[in-house]
Chain A
Amino acid sequence: MSLGPEASITDESTAPTADAAERPGEKAIAGRSLKQIAWRRLKKDKVAIAGACVVIFLILVAVLAPLLIKWFGHPFDEPHIDQLDPTLSTPLGKLGGISREFLLGVEPQSGRDIFSRIIYGAQTTLSVAFLSAFVSTILGTVFGLMAGFLGGWVDSVISRIMDFLLAFPQLLFAIALLSVLPDTFFGLGDRWSRVFVLVGVIGFFGWPYIGRIVRGQTLSLREREFVEASRSLGARSGRILFRELLPNLAAPILVYTTLIIPTNILTEAALSFLGVGIPPPNPSWGGMLSDAVTFYQIDPMYMIIPGGVIFITVLAFNLFGDGLRDALDPKAR
């Protein structure tokens, strides 16, 4: 669901071609697989590696959130009124109350620990972003493959649905849908119920982006000699799909899954910012920014910290995704 910021369109014209597997390594050393070539290229790309390191760091932070909060923070919903100016209810210390005890300061009005809220928010944001990317990838791959491989009326129906979804006022619709769906279900808490609803909505609107690319690649691969050879040897459709086509589609699918994650992070944050994402008092980066709107004139750090964290996270994913695309796509550069 590339609602991202104000529903932008991802740069499709730079789509990688899956020809990669066919081309020999540049220096004409035979027998190097695409994986090896790509890995060599990726290792040389310092910016992409830096992005990857930040991504890994963020994932670790999200996984270890409860421990980190125990060691360095305070429970995320615990108020610390003593840290606030009694008349203005803004943090007492400089820079939004940053101190050794409160690593990223405290919230105005409530005095909750911003560090804990950011860490806890990372857990939610990354879960939503990864799971919804997974949903989009599965749906996009299945429908894209079906459309490209089967052709005919199946192709027309699926293509029409994809066009329709892309021509849909997605952000508006997601907001509307999220506001009418129930807050809790299946006995899950309000936080995880919302995470799953967000995953469903974001994942569902994101699949046509991957579906279109998979369909296009399948269309061109289907006519290639190796598929023809396989078919003339008597291979069934299933074998052609999973053993001949899918491995050749792995590279573009991987690249676009990586690039859809930062978009999902922005979408989740946008929805939380608009008040239909993760329900308070559960922390989310977008929700923190939305709370900061009333305070940014007197306590700018409260706005800069969640905004900066979103920026760094999305940038890291983008850098890594771009690097991966360049590494897997011999046509680029």
Chain B
Amino acid sequence: MLAYIVRRLFNAIITLLVVTAVTFAIFFAIPKATGSDPALLYIGKQSDPAAIEGIRTKMGFNDPIIVQYGKFLKGIVAGRDYANGPDVTHCPAPCLGYSFSTDQEVTPLLMEDLPVTLSLALGAAVLWLIIGISFGVISALRRGTFIDRAAMTTALAGVSLPVYFTGLLASAIFIYWLEWLPQGQYVPFTENPAEWFTGLLLPWITLAFLFAATYARLTRANMLETLGEDYVRTARAKGLTERVVIGKHALRSGLTPIVTIFGLDLGALLGGAVLTETVFNLRGLGYQALTAIRQNDLPIILGVTLIAAFFIVFANLIVDLVYGWIDPRVRLA
């Protein structure tokens, strides 16, 4: 078991390294090919050549790409000093560099956005798990009835609706026409829990609707498959109550695939729910990344990609470990 965890951790680190390397390469290679100079992005086009050269030396743009990448990695682990002669700036670990457009340190900038994305993703996840799984199970048990058909039609509509359309529609209806909710904006939980809740309610529902639809379809399909298994028949035959048959025998194996997908989905969302954040104007990681991309702000893009990849890889790791516990047939070797 320990060896397995160590190996998985090792793999996870390799994946993260490759993700950063690829992102790094693309964002340095393509601007070079199109002839734009990152030093100019820091300092503005009208500056004198000496100042530009100073920035280049300080930020290390004169080094070969591989050296720049190495320094970037070192910054994450141990922090780094940007030096141009006597002019030294220290960036403490984990250092992700400085924003091109605002000259701010990237790490604290992203840490400010992280709670928004976390609140959005975790809140929505709770909702979609409860709604999706319960409707999926009910549909499977009451197969062919009105409830089943209604739930599955709604779910199919749900997976076919883009989140940016449902989001707009929901805010049009609930904020502007019915005026049930205030015009959304993010308020930190520690500041005012009630406003935090009302501000995030619509984004949660919008995002959860989409995922709940997928989960309901998936749960139903898995449950139907499990309910047809021999051991479920055996459990019924030996006189167990329906509750035990469903709750203890069918659900457990019917829900294992859900765990895998939940890990991937949540991991992907924690790295920035770009669309939902854009529609509801939430300043999370996804929003930050989109702004950075529009301004060609490489250090921020790199930072967000790295955080996003970290969450996905980490979620995968947890899923794999949990999987062995839920499903004893999976050998951890």
Contact yes or no, A8 B286, CB < 8 A: no
Which B residues lie within 8 Å of A286 (CB)? 162, 164
Are A176 and B268 also in contact (CB < 8 A) when A8-B210, A167-B309 are?
A: no
B246 CB → nearest A CB, Å: 19
0/1 string, A257-276, CB within 8 A of B gives 1:
00000100010011001111
The reply to whether the CB of B176 lies closer than 8 angstroms to some CB of chain A is yes
B221 CB → nearest A CB, Å: 4
Contact yes or no, A169 B222, CB < 8 A: no
The reply to whether the CB of A293 lies closer than 8 angstroms to some CB of chain B is yes
Contact of A167 among B15, B156, B169, B279 (CB under 8 A): B15
The reply to whether the CB of A164 lies closer than 8 angstroms to some CB of chain B is yes
Which B residues lie within 8 Å of A182 (CB)? 34
The reply to whether the CB of A88 lies closer than 8 angstroms to some CB of chain B is no
Contact yes or no, A14 B268, CB < 8 A: no
The stretch of A55-63, A188-196, A210-218, A310-318 in contact with B is A310-318
A299 CB → nearest B CB, Å: 11
Are A169 and B271 also in contact (CB < 8 A) when A297-B172, A315-B157 are?
A: yes
Contact yes or no, A11 B214, CB < 8 A: yes
The reply to whether the CB of A292 lies closer than 8 angstroms to some CB of chain B is yes
Which A residues lie within 8 Å of B265 (CB)? 7-9
Are A297 and B176 also in contact (CB < 8 A) when A274-B290, A315-B156 are?
A: yes
Contact yes or no, A164 B218, CB < 8 A: no
Known: A266-B162, A270-B164. 9 other contacts (CB 8 A): A11-B221, A167-B19, A168-B312, A169-B271, A172-B274, A273-B164, A276-B293, A315-B156, A315-B157
Which B residues lie within 8 Å of A315 (CB)? 156-157, 160
Taking Cβ atoms with an 8 Å cutoff, the residues of A that contact B are 5-9, 11-14, 163-164, 166-169, 171-173, 175-177, 179-182, 262, 266, 269-270, 273-276, 286, 289-290, 292-293, 296-297, 300, 303-304, 307, 310-311, 314-315, 318-319, 322
Contact yes or no, B218 A172, CB < 8 A: no
Most chain B C-beta atoms within 10 Å of own C-beta, residue among A172, A182, A275? A172
The reply to whether the CB of B313 lies closer than 8 angstroms to some CB of chain A is yes
0/1 string, B212-237, CB within 8 A of A gives 1:
00100110011000000000000000
Contact yes or no, B163 A6, CB < 8 A: yes
Contact yes or no, B159 A318, CB < 8 A: yes
Q: Which 9 A-B pairs have the closest CB atoms?
A: A169-B308, A307-B165, A13-B257, A315-B160, A314-B160, A5-B163, A7-B268, A14-B221, A180-B30
Which B residues lie within 8 Å of A164 (CB)? 15, 18-19
Docked Cα-Cα span, A163 to B159, in Å, equals 24
Closest to A310 in B: B162
Contact yes or no, A167 B316, CB < 8 A: yes
Contact yes or no, A177 B289, CB < 8 A: no
Contact yes or no, A179 B293, CB < 8 A: yes
0/1 string, B155-188, CB within 8 A of A gives 1:
0110111111100110010001000000000000
Docked Cα-Cα span, A164 to B313, in Å, equals 9
Which B residues lie within 8 Å of A290 (CB)? 164
Docked Cα-Cα span, A301 to B268, in Å, equals 33
Contact yes or no, B271 A6, CB < 8 A: no
Which B residues lie within 8 Å of A171 (CB)? 274-275
